[in-house]
Structure 1
C-alpha cells in the first residue's frame, strides 16, 4: 500500500492508498518541530485503530510547503517503515509537466500536485481553485502546461485580519449567510455578508477574468476544505474534487514505479 503525506501550512494530511483507492486518511496540525518519532507514535496507532499494520506500507511519498518538516518525514519513513520516501517534484517523482512561468522553481508543491491530478483526470483547458490557508487559482492549457495563476488570502486569513485589526468586531464562524440579502441588520450579519459574499464575488470575478484571458472554454475544478461550502452558493465550479491534492501524490508514486 502507498502512504502519502501532504504537508500544508495549516495541516498535514496522511492517506493510505490501495492502488488508486483511498482506504484511510488522517489529519494533524502542521508543526515543523514535530519529530519523526512523534509522527510515528500518532500515525501507527491510528493505523492500528483502522485495521492496518505498518508492514502494509510498501511505498511512501510526501510533498511539503514547509521545508523544515521534510527531514522529520524522512526519518519517519526510514526508521519506522524501512522505506526511502519519494519526494514530490524530485527524482523519480518529478512533476512531469511544463511550468511556463518566470520562475518555475517557485511553484509550490501543493499547487503542482493539483495540476498533476487535474490534467490526469479532466480534459481540456483547466482552472484549478484550491481553498487552503491561501486560495490558489491555477491555469493549465489542454496540453497540461502550467501557464500561471493567482494567490489570494484565504477566507479565514481575511477574517483574522478583520477581527485582529479592529477593537470591537467579534469573532464569527465562516458559513453561508441565512439569507441572500447583502444588507445586514446587525454587526455579525454585516461581517458575515462582507466576508462570505465578498469572497464569493472575488472568486467569481477572478475566475471569469481568467476564462476571458484564456480565450477558450476552461473547466473549473475546485478543491480544498471550503470548496463544498462555496459550491452551494455559486455556479462557477464545474467539478468539486476534494481529494485532488492527495491524488496527485498517488499519481506521481504510480509513475515512479511504472
Structure 2
C-alpha cells in the first residue's frame, strides 16, 4: 500500500474499533465486519487462490462500499478449511488493515470443551458454529451447517463438543447427478416442487434433493437423540438451511450468520484474556 493511501486513511480514522471476521470455506469465503454486536457489512467471495495484495485490494474495495476505513480495525480472526489460503489472508489483513489475524484452532480458548477423538482434525468452522450456538441457545444442541459438505454437530450438556456427521452438500450431490447422467437437466434449487411425487423431471429432481435432504437431517437428528439419551434443540446455518428447514420435522430455527457470530465471540474471548 502506498504511503499516500495510508496518510489519507489516517486523516479520516474512525475511533470506534471494529473486528474483521473471515470464514474461508471450500467453495466460498464469507467476510464480515462487527462493531460490538452489530454486523456492519458482509460479503461472499469464491474461495480461490490469490496473493496477499490481491486479497488486500478486495478488502479495500469491499470496505469502501460501507464507508469503513482500513485503519479502524482493532483486530481480525480467520476460520479456514483451506490451508493454502491461510497465509495469503493473514498477510493481506496485516499489510492492508495493519492488524494481526487470529486463526481459529483448539489452541485458543473456545469456551467449550472439545471431546472429539482427534481435536486437531475437526474443522474450524464446526467449532466456531458450536461456540455461537451454545452462546445463543445453550446446550445440548445440534447444529446443521449446509455448505460444500453438510455437517451435523452435537454439543452435549455443559457445552461439551462431542462430534457429529458429515455428508455431501446439496450442490455436490447435484453436480454428481448431472455429471453422471446424460439426460437430466441442471436445475436451480429456488423453490420446492408442488408435491413429493414429481410430475416432470425438474420437479422430480427437486423432490429428491429437498425432501431427501430434509429426511437425511431428521434421521440423523433422531439417531443422535437416541444415542445421546435425550432431545436437543436443532438449528441450521449455511446457504441452503432455509430451504431444508421448510421441510424438516426438527430443524425449524435458521441462523444465517452463526459462523460469523462465533468468530466474533472467539476473538473477544481471546483478546480479553491478553
TM bucket by the smaller chain? over 0.9
1:244-255 maps to which residues of 2 (within 5 A)? Answer: 244-255=258-269
Displacement after TM superposition at 1:238 (Å): 4.3
Contact conserved, 1:175 with 1:196, CA < 8 A, in 2? no
Q: Tell me the residue number matched to 1:153.
A: 168
Give the corresponding residue for 1:225. Answer: 239
Q: Which of 19, 23, 29 is the equivalent residue of 1:2?
A: 19
Per-residue CA distance 1:155-186 (angstroms, 9 max, x = gap): 1111111110111111111144331x222222
TM-score normalised by the chain length of structure 1: 0.94
Paired with 2:67 and 2:98, the residues of 1 have a C-alpha distance of 20
Deviates more, 1:168-177 or 1:56-65: 168-177
Q: Does residue 1:62 correspond to 2:68, yes or no?
A: no
1:94 positional shift: 3.7
Deviation of 1:90 after TM superposition, in Å, equals 6.0
Matched, 1:242 2:256: yes
Deviations 1:180-207 (A, max 9, x none): x222222222222112211111111111
**2:271 pairs with 1:257:** yes
Does the C-alpha gap of structure 1 residues 238 and 169 become closer, same or farther in structure 2, counting only changes over 3 Å? Answer: closer
Q: Alignment partner of 1:52: what SS?
A: coil
Q: Which residue of structure 1 aligns with residue 43 of structure 2?
A: 26
Q: How many residues align?
A: 255
Per the alignment, residue 139 of structure 2 pairs with 124
Structure 1 gap segments, 5+ residues each = none
Counterpart-to-counterpart distance in 2, 1:238 and 1:161: 28
Say if 2:110 and 2:269, in contact at 8 Å, map to a contact too: no
**TM-score normalised by structure 2 residue count:** 0.89
Give the unaligned 5+ runs of structure 2: 1-17
- Listed as ranges, the matches of 1:85-164 within 5 Å are 85-89=101-105, 93-164=108-179
Deviations 1:52-77 (A, max 9, x none): 11011121111110001111011112
